[in-house]
């Protein structure tokens, strides 16, 4: 059983709310109280961590209750283990965070936000690894190149997207990310991919859809978008500027 023992109101409120949201059985005590017989892990604040040296203890930060609950659940299930982040790349990558074999968090965010999410999830984790599927070449390469100070592996994602039954629409990318996280891949530092003519045309078409004047960006700007140097919005801004100067 998880025991929450803290006098810090922010820690208490954040951790208890997170545990309730996840449907986890827990109890709360004052830091000076005796631990219940079935205590498996204690969640407490930094000031009381030394008081529970005889049991597995997770120190919760007031602004990071989810991370504390993730750690408590990992200890409770005996998974511990390495933090592995699986990523199914695309315009809105699916991201799954595993502690050992347990999925502790999942996200689907715009590509521009993916690196921030991944780096936040691996922060302070011992020896984490990020595994990125090889399916969406341009988006995957952008993630590889933007991630720093973490081991990155590129994984063959063939067969990682499961069959989706009724009512599961929109879950495919996240479930694929879970499967990608469980596959070993090739360690990479950078990844250079030359965009194809078809990929550049897709970027041009998207820029036309977002343009107020229904004008597509040129190939030079499309190539900069493909390599991650610019977003489509930034490329459109430069394109408008070029037009004003002509």
Q: What pLDDT digit, counting tens, does each position of 114-137 carry?
A: 999 999 989 878 889 999 999 888
Per-residue pLDDT of 192-240, as tens digits, reads: 778 888 889 999 998 999 888 888 999 999 988 887 778 888 899 888 8
Residues 104 and 167 in one domain: yes
Q: Are residues 51 and 139 in the same domain?
A: no
Quick one: 107 and 159 in the same domain?
yes
In what side-by-side order are the strands of the sheet with 26-29?
A: 26-29, 2-5, 41-44, 57-59
My answer on whether 220 and 127 are in the same domain is: no
- Same domain, residue pair 179 and 131: yes
Flag the least confident range among 148-157, 173-182, 202-211.
Answer: 202-211
Same domain, 17 and 68: yes
Same domain, 93 and 164: yes
pLDDT at residue 153 in the model: 97
Domain boundary among 26, 56, 77: 77
User: CA 123, CA 127: separation in Å to the nearest integer?
Assistant: 10
Measured between alpha carbons, how far is 155 from 143 in angstroms, rounded to an integer? 13
More confident residue, 199 or 11: 11
Residues 89 and 179 in one domain: yes
The C-alpha atoms of residue 47 and residue 57 are separated, in whole angstroms, by 12
CB 182 within 8 A of CB 86: yes
- Full residue range of the structural domain in which residue 240 is found: 197-245
Domain count, the chain: 3
User: Same domain, yes or no, for 104 and 70?
Assistant: no
Same domain, 91 and 71: no
CA 204 vs CA 156, 183, 221: distances in Å:
28, 34, 9
Q: Out of 188, 209, 228, pick the residue that ends a domain.
A: 188
CATH number at residue 38: 3.40.50.2300
pTM of the predicted model over 0.75: no
pLDDT of residue 244: 44
Q: Do 203 and 153 have their domain in common? A: no
């Amino acid at each position: 059983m998880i025991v929450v023992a803290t006098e810090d109101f922010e820690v208490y409120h954040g951790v208890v709310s997170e545990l309730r949201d996840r449907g986890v059985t827990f109890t709360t005590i004052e830091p000076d109280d005796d631990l219940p017989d079935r205590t498996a892990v204690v969640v407490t604040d930094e000031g009381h961590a030394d008081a529970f040296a005889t049991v597995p203890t997770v120190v919760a930060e007031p602004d990071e209750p989810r991370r504390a609950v993730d750690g408590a659940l990992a200890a409770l299930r005996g998974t511990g283990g390495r933090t592995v982040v699986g990523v199914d790349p695309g315009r809105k990558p699916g991201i799954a965070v595993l502690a050992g074999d347990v999925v502790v968090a999942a996200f689907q965010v715009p590509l521009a936000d993916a690196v921030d999410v991944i780096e936040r999830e691996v922060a302070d984790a011992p020896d984490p690894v990020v595994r990125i599927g090889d399916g969406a070449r341009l988006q995957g390469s952008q993630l590889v190149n933007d991630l720093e100070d973490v081991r990155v592996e590129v994984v063959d994602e063939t067969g990682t997207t499961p069959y989706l039954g009724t009512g599961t629409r929109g879950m495919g990318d996240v479930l694929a990310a879970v499967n990608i996280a469980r596959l070993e891949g090739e360690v990479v530092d950078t990844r250079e991919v030359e965009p194809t003519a078809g990929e550049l045309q897709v970027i041009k078409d998207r820029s036309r859809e977002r343009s107020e004047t229904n004008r597509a960006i040129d190939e030079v700007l499309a190539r900069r978008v493909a390599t991650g140097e610019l977003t489509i919005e930034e490329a459109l801004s430069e394109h408008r500027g070029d037009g004003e100067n002509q």
